[in-house]
Amino acid sequence: MRLGVIADDFTGATDIAGFLVANGLRTVQLNGVPPEDLAVEADAVVVSLKTRSCPVEEAVSQSLAALRWLQARDCPQFFFKYCSTFDSTPKGNIGPVTDALLDTLGEDFTVICPVLPVNGRTIYNGYLFVNGVPLEESGMRHHPVTPMTDSNLMRLMDAQSRGKTGNVPSTVMDQGADAVRAALAALKAKGFRYAVLDALSDAHLVVMGQAVAEMKLVTGGSGLADGMARAWKTEADAASAAAEGRPAKGRAIVLSGSCSQMTNAQVAAYRAAAPALFVEVERSLGDAEAYARELADWVLAQPAGEWAPLVYATTEPAKLKEIQARFGAAEASEAVERVFGALARRLEAAGFDQFIVAGGETSGIVTQSLGIGGFHIGPQIAPGVPWVKAVGKPLSLALKSGNFGGERFFFEAQDLAA
């Protein structure tokens, strides 16, 4: 094992795993803290947790349990993976988990880098941008669980952690890995505990990957992992690394719980070509199993066609705000998740073996409801979104973070599985 990743949600885990496989690293994703006796043969292991928005104590406990499991297998380097839009309010879990990992590893300094230029996530002077727009002005401002109202990663990190955060600007990144290492050393000498790494381009990823090669713990998004893997200059073949996770042709369903801007566009494009049914929050708050049975009956009644049926809770920001005001944000989200979980179980029993899922929370509940303990990572459908194949079950899944992929993502996923 070359790298052990602790990811704070399911889609974030598949995101980083996809980039590792694309660089030729045989990668296995495990869902939840693995049992002590589990044997895994891989270049990289990604442990996916559901700790992004749970209570701090729970997030820290699970993350440390995952770290201990990886340490027991002589893993030399660790990566704490969170979303490329940070997804953590001032009371969030990224700071406390980072501090706990540093303490356990006996380290006192790491990097903060939620970056992915290929998907428009860049950092300039420590400020996070989404497709050229400051994070706080993007659709993430209206996220139902972690609304992002500040683009300054130093302020965000300082508000939820025990240390002080500095910045390595893009002008230093332009000078190469040695200059970045010197800047990191200078920040550490001045008493900083974390350093936000700027990144404006693909070239910056390789530079930062080289600069953190000897760091015991790094934290950030999948762009940083992409740079690290490329800096290792592995001779492995990406197609071979992805072979075990490649989906076979099967019976597909599309489930969408994300309300992000991109998922709204993806759902709109897909509804124009495929049968689609909206999940009603009020119905979800009642008998989840009964409502899931009704949704499953609708899916099964759809005639065979070119494109799989879509069941979606995706809605525009104004409608989402109205739903949250009426039913409560947490209550509405949890109710819809329960329905998606029950629906997934029913569809598996009916012979569906391909699940295309949009949204981190939705992906988590679907994966858990299907009883999947781990995945083999397959080919990427879009940057950060690979097909994955369940370990020990004949199921393939595409688990998509809300804003990932283009407007035709649902079509492209099915094309790749044909």
**pLDDT at 280 > cutoff 80:** yes
* 201 vs 317, more confident: 201
pLDDT score at 53 = 82
CB atoms within 10 A of CB 158: 17
pLDDT higher than 90, residue 137: no
Summarize pLDDT for 186-231 with one digit per residue, the tens: 999 999 999 999 999 999 999 999 999 999 999 999 999 999 999 8
Kindly report which listed range (29-38, 93-102, 228-237) carries the lowest average pLDDT score: 228-237
Tell me: the pLDDT tens digits for 30-53?
A: 999 999 988 888 999 999 998 988
Question: Helices marked H in 119-160 — which ranges?
Answer: 153-160
Q: Determine the average pLDDT of the residues in 147-167.
A: 91
More confident residue, 301 or 143: 301
pLDDT higher than threshold 90 for residue 317 = no
Q: What per-residue confidence (pLDDT) applies to 400?
A: 93
Q: In what helix (H) or strand (E) does residue 78 lie, and over which residues does it extend?
A: strand 78-81
- Domain 246-417 is in which class? alpha beta
- Give the integer Cα–Cα distance in Å for 219 and 1: 18
Do the Cβ atoms of 196 and 153 come closer than 8 Å?
Answer: yes
Average pLDDT over residues 103-115: 97
Alpha-carbon distance of 247 to 243, in angstroms, equals 9
pLDDT digits (tens, 9 = 90+) for 245-274: 899 889 999 999 999 899 999 999 999 999
Q: What is the average pLDDT value for the chain, to the nearest integer?
A: 92
pTM of the model: 0.80
pLDDT value for 392: 85
What are the pLDDT digits (tens) for 161-194? 999 999 999 999 999 999 999 999 999 999 999 9
Kindly state the average pLDDT of the residues 89-109.
93
Q: Which helix (H) or strand (E) holds 241?
A: helix 238-242
Please tell me the class of the 3-241 domain.
alpha beta
**Domain residue extents for the chain:** 3-241, 246-417
pLDDT band at 151 (very low <50, low <70, confident <90, very high): confident
The tens digit of pLDDT for each residue in 322-361 reads: 888 888 888 989 999 999 999 999 999 999 999 999 998 8
- The residue ranking higher by pLDDT, 91 or 27, is 27
Q: How far is CA 311 from CA 302, 339, 354, in A?
A: 12, 11, 14
What's residue 350's pLDDT?
A: 97
Beta strand 276-278 with 310-312 is parallel
> Quick one: pLDDT at residue 34?
92
Distance CA 114, CA 304 (A): 41
Q: What is the pLDDT of residue 418?
A: 66
